[in-house]
Structure 1
Amino acid sequence: MKRSLFLLLTAISLISSVSYAEDSTPLPSHQIAYPQGWQTWSSIAVSHRTDNNTVRAILGNEIAVNAARSGNHMPWPDGAIFAKVVWKAGELTHWPQAIGPKAFVHAEFMFKDSVKYADTYGWGWARWVGEEQTPFEGGMQVCISCHTPVKDNDWVFTEPAWFPNK
Structure 2
Amino acid sequence: MRKAIFACVSLLSMAIPVLAGPTPVAPNGIALYPDYMSWRVVAPSYREDKGHIRVITGNETAVAALRAGVKPLPDGSVLAKVAWKAVKHPSFPVATEAGEFVQVEFMVKDAKKYKETGGWGFARFVGKDLKPYGKDASFVNECFGCHTPVAGNDYLFTRMAGTP
How far the C-alpha of 1:114 sits from its partner, in A, is 0.6
Name the structure 1 match of 2:155: 155
Name the structure 1 match of 2:82: 85
Q: How many residues align?
A: 143
How far the C-alpha of 1:22 sits from its partner, in A, is 8.1
**In structure 2, what is the Cα distance between the partners aligned to 1:114 and 1:70?**
19
TM-score (norm 1): 0.79
- Which one of 123, 128, 132 corresponds to residue 126 of structure 1? 123
CA-to-partner distance for each residue in 1:84-139, whole Å, 9 max, x for gaps?
00111111233322112111110000001111111211000000000100000161
Query: Does the 8 Å CA contact 1:29/1:128 hold for their aligned counterparts?
Result: no
Asked which structure has the greater CA Rg, the reply is 1
What SS is found at the alignment partner of 1:67? Answer: helix
CA RMSD of superposed structures (Å): 1.7
The unaligned stretches of length 5 or more in structure 1 are: 1-20
Correspondence list, 1:19-38, <5 A: 23-38=21-36
**In structure 1, what is the Cα distance between the partners aligned to 2:20 and 2:131?**
15
Correspondence list, 1:98-137, <5 A: 98-137=95-134
TM-score (norm 2): 0.80
| Identity across matched positions, percent | 43
Task: Tell me which of the two structures has the higher relative contact order, counting C-alpha pairs closer than 8 angstroms and 6 or more residues apart.
Answer: 2
**In structure 1, what is the Cα distance between the partners aligned to 2:67 and 2:94?**
30
**In structure 2, what is the Cα distance between the partners aligned to 1:77 and 1:94?**
44
What SS is found at the alignment partner of 2:21? Answer: helix
Indicate yes or no: 2:156 matched with 1:143. no
Amino acid at match of 1:34: L
Indicate yes or no: 2:55 matched with 1:57. yes
**In structure 2, what is the Cα distance between the partners aligned to 1:67 and 1:24?**
31
What SS is found at the alignment partner of 1:101? Answer: strand
